[in-house]
Amino acid sequence: MLMFCFRTLQNVPFLRLSAGLLACVCLSAALTKSFAGQIGMGAEGRHGGLAPDIAAQRLDDAICKAWTVRVPDLSMGLCTTSGLQPTGGRSVQGEPLYRVDIRAGSPQLRVIVVGGIHGDELTSTTLAMHWLQIATDDPSIAYWRFIPLLNPDGMLASPAKRMNANGVDLNRNFPTKNWAVETKHYWEKRTGRDPRRWPGKFAGSEPETQFLLNEIHAFQPDLIVSIHAPYGILDFDGALTPPKKLGRLHLDRLGIYPGSVGNYGSLEHHVPVVTVELLHAIDAPTATETQQMWGDLIGWMKNRLLSDRYSDLVEQGSHKHLN
């Protein structure tokens, strides 16, 4: 390509460029085409071939205002100072998906916290945002990645709805083993074809699901915390010793749900998943309750998760570098 460009420009009558300048022009054109191609390839899967304009997706006052209208106990101050950054990921309707990383000086664990998987469980985003604020002040022993709102289309709908804009229950859309068989049986037999719990046409069909899958694979967490409402319990998936409680929420395992974050994280990605089921979907936990749940989570991470994980690494003869 470079040689063709060089010879073509040499033969243009009105151009009198030196050999060095011709080479620079051709090389620049080649690199520009290559770079543009890479952007298009990277964006095609999520954005229909359009490269994302990250700067235009920043969490500005307009977006925070839309969030604070819906999310209980979320102030403009907390939203605008959260540090949430656009990722290039978007929902079905094009809403940006945000995250923020907060890390201790010498982190010993990597943790993903995700809220707003179901758009009508508004307090799940509330808790993620307030925990984000606490972690900013004191990240303890962890390198945190907060994704407070995975399903903005559901949250911003009128009224807010569980599913995304395609009518898919994102917490049944993750690619777990025998997904096609098990989610079909679950949806048809256990829910009676409840449209609020439709798992989608195929595993990982939704852009929001794909986004979180990419985050899990890229970040390689030691723990995933998935926040929901309103069962008022604590659920756990994984082989490690679970926490007995977070604040008023006590351990009560709900069972296996095909296509869920808990099922995927623990069985497919071999990462324990703590599922927080808040008492209310609309009434936010108090500041005291929020702090108690956070304190219990940190205590369990230090006393059980870290020791269990270290024991596993010793058995495997390897140590994961977190810095």
Q: In this structure, what token pair is assigned to residue 59?
A: 């969490």
CATH topology classification for 55-316: Aminopeptidase (3.40.630)
Rounded Cα gap, residues 32 and 147, in angstroms:
34
Mean pLDDT of the chain: 85
Q: What is the pTM of this model?
A: 0.81
Rounded Cα gap, residues 223 and 266, in angstroms:
9
194-214 per-position pLDDT tens digit: 999 999 999 999 999 999 999
**Residue pair 26/19 in contact by the 8 Å Cβ criterion:** no
Residue position matching structure tokens 């991470």: 301
> How confident is the model at residue 28, as a pLDDT?
41
**Residue pair 277/253 in contact by the 8 Å Cβ criterion:** no
Residue position matching structure tokens 């569980």: 162
Q: Where are the domains of the chain?
A: 55-316
155-187 per-position pLDDT tens digit: 999 999 999 999 999 999 999 999 999 999 999
> How confident is the model at residue 211, as a pLDDT?
98
